[in-house]
Amino acid sequence: VTRALSIGLLGLGTVGRHVYRLLGDGETIAGRAGGPLEIRRIVVADLGKDRGGAAPRHLLSDDPHAVVQAPDIDIVVEVMGGLDPAGRAIRDALAAGKPVVTANKQLMASSGGELLALAERSGVDLCFEGSVGAGIPLIKPIRESLAGARLRAVTGILNGTTNFILTRMAVEGRTYADALAEAQRLGFAEADPTEDLDGRDSAAKLAILASAAFNVNLRVGDVFREGIERITLKDLAYARELGFAIKLLAIARTVGEEVEARVHPALLPLDHPLAQVADEFNAVHVESEDLGPVVFTGRGAGGAPTAAAVVGDIIDVARNLRLGVGGRSRAAAPRAPRIRPMEEVVLPYYISLQLTDRPGVFARVATVFGEEAVSIASIVQKSRGEVADAVFVTHDAAERGVRRVLERLRSLDVVKALVNSVRVEATV
């Protein structure tokens, strides 16, 4: 009989309960993990809280440090979330030579490189598939299955809340506020959705994905970030008229020796695979030298899907542990990436203005673009009496030049308002 491997489960929230439930199907799991697994300790913040029998009381503890250090714990599974005490517990576990499975986006995005190096030194696994895209397989396919392809870019819709809002605005003509309220009603947005709306959630996930794709240590702070708060129904309508959807994209791309990493709303051609990704769905589009585009799509959030990813990692770790090959997943040490400054990033821009509607105005605006060497690809203009809406899409231009254009337009007397400016992602 193969000895059961013991798990210390840190956290019994939504994800933790689903992990507990999935591991309860002992026979199936044992078959896949090469032998039985047993949850021996569960760490919760408040021992007194009523958990409605989610797990037996005698397994509960409120001391992560003690559980992680306990000699009878083989694998540490962290699903508490947040930087601390989760980070402390994971460092303790790795230092004690115990493999760790975590779904902690925030921690991996800020300290992934350091934790992976610690795991490497201790010769143990650190797996984090659940930290991005919940149940959509991303980290392992990108690190392992695509290891034979030379990856150039990962472009993702990594946040379900903002994608739901933008989809409902575009499809049903709902306002931003109305679509957000609907997302909250359906449970796709949290009570405080700030981190989703301002792109912080996507930026953290992008840091994790890009680090895996390019074998670098990219941190969330390296990611340029802009949220969807300024996108209006008018922008969505003009974008569609020009053949584009608007999505909150997370983009990481190698350009020579540098890495571009940015999260912002972007116009995306309607025939781009990501333009079809609707509502709360997430998707990641991978470009490489050797393959055509590969796209992974699915629901990117939720307790059960995240737990399934965590259990997949647990199975992997358990098999490595039985085979005595902890730390198998690492190969070359990641490099520190040279981040391309946002001012040097080159892409087309959508610029929406309100102009005084009289002769010569258009020429003055066009002159500003020309003088800054930003060339115009398409224009939509609509007179509304006193004023006219004018929407420009530029050709590829360095961000620096576009910023100068925007600056100069703002001070032109014929420009009544610089309504919005949104980047365009045209590479399919």
Give catalytic residues, as residue numbers.
Answer: 205
CB-nearer residue toward its own copies: 110 or 122: 122
Does 272 sit near its own copies (CB under 8 A)? no
Does 308 sit near its own copies (CB under 8 A)? yes
What Cα–Cα distance (Å) separates residue 330 from each residue in 113, 189, 412?
12, 35, 56
Does 315 sit near its own copies (CB under 8 A)? yes
In the complex, the smallest distance separating the C-beta of residue 365 from its own copies, rounded to whole angstroms, is: 38
CB-nearer residue toward its own copies: 47 or 428: 428
Q: Are 351 and 231 in contact (CB under 8 A)?
A: no
Does 172 sit near its own copies (CB under 8 A)? no
Does 321 sit near its own copies (CB under 8 A)? no
How far apart are alpha carbons 410 and 392 in whole angstroms? 15
Buried b (16+ CB within 10 A) or exposed e, 1-20: eeebbbbbbbbbeebbbbbb
Residue 398 is which amino acid? Answer: A
How far apart are alpha carbons 40 and 311 in whole angstroms? 16
CB-nearer residue toward its own copies: 22 or 412: 22
In the complex, the smallest distance separating the C-beta of residue 296 from its own copies, rounded to whole angstroms, is: 6
Does 316 sit near its own copies (CB under 8 A)? yes
Q: Which of 54, 255, 295, 412: binder of its own copies (CB under 8 A)?
A: 295
Does 125 sit near its own copies (CB under 8 A)? no
Location of structure tokens 């925030």: 106
Task: Read off the DSSP letter of residue 375.
Answer: P
Q: Which of residues 329-388 bind its own copies (CB under 8 A)?
A: 331-332
CB-nearer residue toward its own copies: 248 or 301: 301
In the complex, the smallest distance separating the C-beta of residue 135 from its own copies, rounded to whole angstroms, is: 4
Q: Is the peptide bond before 137 cis (omega within 30 degrees of 0)?
A: no
Q: What are phi and psi of 270, to 5 degrees?
A: -60, -25
How far apart are alpha carbons 420 and 234 in whole angstroms? 10
Does 116 sit near its own copies (CB under 8 A)? no
Q: Are 418 and 409 in contact (CB under 8 A)?
A: yes
Element (H, E) at 349: strand 349-356
Q: Which of these ranges, 186-194, 229-237, 318-326, 368-376, lies near its own copies under the rule CB under 8 A?
A: 318-326
Q: Which of these ranges, 77-85, 192-200, 314-322, 356-364, lies near its own copies under the rule CB under 8 A?
A: 314-322
Rg (CA), the chain: 24
Q: Which of these ranges, 21-29, 253-261, 345-353, 409-417, lies near its own copies under the rule CB under 8 A?
A: 21-29
Total Cβ atoms within 10 A of residue 363: 10
Distance of CA 427 to the CA centre of its chain: 19
Q: What does the block give as tokens for 317?
A: 């770790």
Half-sphere exposure of 282 (CA within 13 A, CB side): 25
Beta strands in 270-322 (DSSP E): 281-288, 294-299
Does 269 sit near its own copies (CB under 8 A)? no
CB-nearer residue toward its own copies: 296 or 362: 296
CB-nearer residue toward its own copies: 311 or 353: 311
How far apart are alpha carbons 89 and 86 in whole angstroms? 5
Does 129 sit near its own copies (CB under 8 A)? yes
Does 199 sit near its own copies (CB under 8 A)? no
Q: Are 106 and 204 in contact (CB under 8 A)?
A: yes
In the complex, the smallest distance separating the C-beta of residue 123 from its own copies, rounded to whole angstroms, is: 11
Q: Which of 31, 56, 97, 187: binder of its own copies (CB under 8 A)?
A: 31
Does 152 sit near its own copies (CB under 8 A)? no
Binding site residues, its own copies, CB under 8 A: 18, 22, 25, 28, 31-34, 129, 134-137, 140-141, 144-150, 215, 273, 276, 288, 290-299, 302, 304-305, 307-316, 319, 323-325, 328, 331-332
